[in-house]
Amino acid sequence: MEPKPSNSIPFLPCAHCAQTGRCNNEADGFSCHQCATKTRSKFNLLMSKRKNMTGVVCSVCSGLGVVEPYTYSLNNRIRPALAAGIIAGSIGILGGALQSEHFESILAFSTTIIGAVTGFYFGGSNDK
């Protein structure tokens, strides 16, 4: 039920940071918990000790001040399906490769892909 963004308006102003790219949504101008946590996780060693943070990069728009609604929603919807599809495809190739004399090289190739895909899509930072 989301409105479909038209091509003439590729970006929407980020409501979270009011297009500043910096989050100061908490009282007294501090950055909100979500953005502060994301920044801390990126710069763990430097910032893990700081509690009240100001001016951290907006976690919604990554500091751009605008969000690209099409890409944004596309990524959120397609990514898991894409990863599952790649894994399923790799497993399918593996199944076919059982008859092949190149089974071992195909196995190595497929497991590498599966590992990379799962690591990239499921093992990385989960911002939600």
What are the φ/ψ torsions at residue 12 (nearest 5 degrees)?
A: -110, 140
3-class DSSP state of 19: coil
Stretch that binds Zn ion, among 33-41, 84-92, 108-116, 118-126 (CB under 5 A): 33-41
CA 86 to centroid of chain Cα atoms: 18
Helix or strand run (H / E) with residue 15: none
CA 13 to centroid of chain Cα atoms: 19
Q: Which is nearer to Zn ion, 16 or 110 (CB)?
A: 16
Q: How far apart are CA 29 and CA 127, in angstroms?
A: 22
CA 33 to each of CA 25, 29, 36, 90: distance values in angstroms, whole numbers, following the listed order: 9, 12, 5, 40
Stretch that binds Zn ion, among 13-21, 84-92, 101-109, 112-120 (CB under 5 A): 13-21
The residue from 30, 35, 38, 110 that contacts Zn ion (CB under 5 A) is 35
48-67 residues in contact with Zn ion (CB under 5 A) are 58, 60-61
Q: Which is nearer to Zn ion, 35 or 117 (CB)?
A: 35
Does 32 engage in binding with Zn ion (CB under 5 A)?
A: yes
The distance of closest approach from Cβ of residue 123 to Zn ion in the complex, given in angstroms and rounded to an integer, is 25
The distance of closest approach from Cβ of residue 15 to Zn ion in the complex, given in angstroms and rounded to an integer, is 8
Binding site for Zn ion (CB under 5 A): 14, 16-17, 23, 25, 32, 35, 58, 60-61
